[in-house]
Structure formats: C-alpha cells, structure tokens
Amino acid sequence: MKQISVSVNPYLEFINSILLTGRYNEITTPYVGYGLMTKQINEYTEAIKRFFEKYRQNPVYSYIEAMIPNGFTFSRPVELALSLGNSKDFSVQYPLSDLCIKYCGGNKKIRELLQLLKDFEIETGYFGFFKEVKRYYDPIIAQAKLVAEQLPYIPLLEKIYGKEQSSYHYVISSLMCGNFGLNFAETAKDALDIICVFSTEGQSISTPILLHEFSHPFINPLTEKYANLVEKYKIAYEKLEPYKLPNYLSGYGDWPECVNEHLIRAMVIYLLRKCNLAYDAEQMLRNDLYCGYQYIPFILERYKFYEQNRDRYPSFETFYPSLLNVFSEDIG
C-alpha cells in the first residue's frame, strides 16, 4: 500500500542555504514584492549563516545570482535539487521539465551549475555539517507525519482524479517561502513520482495545503496538454482583473497558472467537504474569494456533476475539456 513519505532533502537544503546566504532575496524582491527565502532567525538559520560566512566569495554565488533574472526563482531551484534524487555525486536522476531547463538558461548552464555545486560541497563539507544540524527538523517532521496520516490522501486523490501515481513524497524545508507541487516521470504516459515541498511558515503543514500541493501534479499537466483549448477562455483573465488584490500575484502570473489555481483551490474545498471538514472548507472558500478566485463557486458545481457522472467521465482528464467551459460564466 502506497504511503506518503516525509523527509528533508539534503540537496534542497544545500541549494536553499546558498540562496539564503547570498543575494537571492535582494535580487528577487523588486520582481516579486517579497524575498523568496525565510527571514526567520533561529538556531538552524544562524548555524547556516555561520557555516557559509567564510565561503561567500565562492564563484557558485555569483553564478547563481546571474541566473536569477532569467527565471531561476520559485520552483526552479527546488526542481533542480530534487531532480538529483538519491545520487551522491550531483548527477540528475529525474528528467527536468522543459520550463525548468528554459528558466535555468539551458542544459549547459545546468551542467556548469551542478559542477560548481559539487565542487563547493567538497570544499565546505556541507553534507557532514547538515548531519549535525538536521536534528532541528525532528519536531517538524513529527508534525508533518501527523498531518500526512490524518486522512487517506492517496486513495482520496487517485479516486477523484481517476489516475494512479507511482509515489508520493512530502519534503520539508524551513528555509524558503512558499510550497511547490512537483512531479517527475520518464515519459508523459508514466505514473508520476510526486514530490511536494512545504515550507514551515504559516499553515504550510496542514491538510488543505497538502491537498493543494499534491493536486498540482494531477492538474497542471492537463492545462499544458489542452493549452490551445485553455487559451480560448483567456477573456476570463480580463474579467478577473477587478477582483485581484493589490500586489497579489498568486494565480495571476499568467492565464494557465490562473486556471490551475482556480481548479486546484476548488478541488481542495470540494475534498475537504467530502471529508467532513466543513469549517476548513468554508474558511478556504472565503479566503480564495477574497483573493479574487471568483470562478470557484461555479467550479464546485461542476465537480458535483463530475462525481455524479463518473460512468461518463472515468477520469478527471476526460472531464477536463468540458470543465473549461466554466470560465465562460458571468462573474459580474
């Protein structure tokens, strides 16, 4: 029986530690509106800053900082770190997405960066350092395991989406802001290895956020597959503009992202209701409407229809093309 594994990834902590101790926050803040690494001061972050202080002139810092304006932000460093799997030599074990390769600056840049990271780890002995400080995560991992065991998430997700996946991994990093739902597969037809990364800020370690991030790998590929059909409903993006909070970019980066966020946020609410977590569901609904996701009530009705007609729609993918018509609804 498949279970959600809970862990901390040394490669991710290594890259995040470099971002934390470099100029990543300084460079990204003008573009994003906030720094993408934590500003928390605790035993772990202080140990990291002390450890890396004497290495700040290493070329890996300037190399990464030059990559940031090209798009080496948000999930790109995360995906690159997790693509290394359980290798011991910084070799890529999982194929990177085309988008990640593009925003990293191409495969040549990725190879050069991985070599710099490998050399830097040898110079610093980082993995030995991490073994000494990773005890910081012990209570956080215990908390995450409680959340991961709270509900039968895997059967719940695979039943509603009508698709089985290969594995589910819950990775924690307290060094970054934001959560990321990633997936890896050898081919487009393969079941996915889903690796979702959660920060430790706010409500990141919770049932709603778990459902949200583990839904991305089910829904995002469909938005990519039906990109031409998604584009036909782009007028909805303009209709949403008056409802957008000032300086709130989440879900509004571009139209495909807006579609994904609407469908996923609605699915979280729908699943919470199915699990008799009505309070959490209504709290999420109020918050999402406040943030501008005005199509969610219409999508929730479509999800009811989908579940009532599973003989006609055996999987979420078979339902997806007709579901997109929800973005023609009048939200005025």
> Domain locations in the chain?
9-136, 142-328
Residues 50-82: tens digit of each pLDDT: 999 999 999 999 999 999 999 999 999 999 999
pLDDT level of residue 188 (50, 70, 90 thresholds): low
Residues 6+ apart with CB under 8 A from 234: 255
pLDDT level of residue 138 (50, 70, 90 thresholds): very high
pLDDT level of residue 244 (50, 70, 90 thresholds): confident
Lowest mean pLDDT among 94-98, 117-121, 260-264: 94-98
Mean pLDDT, rounded, for 157-176: 97
The mean pLDDT of the chain is: 94
Percent of the chain with pLDDT over 70: 97
For residue 252, pLDDT beyond 80 = no
Give DSSP secondary structure letters for 83-147. Answer: TTTT-SSS---SPPPHHHHHHHT-HHHHHHHHHHHHHHHHHHTHHHHHHHHGGGGHHHHHHHHHH
pLDDT of residue 161: 98
Helices 59-67 and 10-21: crossing angle in degrees, nearest 10, is 90
Distance CA 303, CA 234 (A): 21
Mean pLDDT, rounded, for 159-167: 96
pLDDT of residue 33: 77
pLDDT level of residue 34 (50, 70, 90 thresholds): confident
- Evaluated on CA atoms 140, 34, 16, 150, the torsion sign reads positive
Q: Other C-beta atoms within 10 Å of 83: how many? A: 22
Pairing of strands 4-7, 180-184: unpaired
Residue 263: closest CA among 313, 223, 305, 310: 223
For residue 98, pLDDT beyond 60 = yes
pLDDT of residue 186: 63
For residue 121, pLDDT beyond 70 = yes
Distance CA 121, CA 53 (A): 14
For residue 185, pLDDT beyond 70 = yes
Mean pLDDT, rounded, for 204-229: 96
- Write down the residue that tokens 């600056």 correspond to: 105
pLDDT level of residue 249 (50, 70, 90 thresholds): low
**SS3 (DSSP) at 168:** strand
| DSSP conformation class of 176 | B
Beta bridge partner(s), residue 197: 171, 180
Structure-token pair, residue 198: 């959660």
Q: Other C-beta atoms within 10 Å of 164: how many? A: 12
Lowest mean pLDDT among 39-48, 189-198, 296-305: 189-198
Cβ proximity of 89 and 127 under 8 Å? no
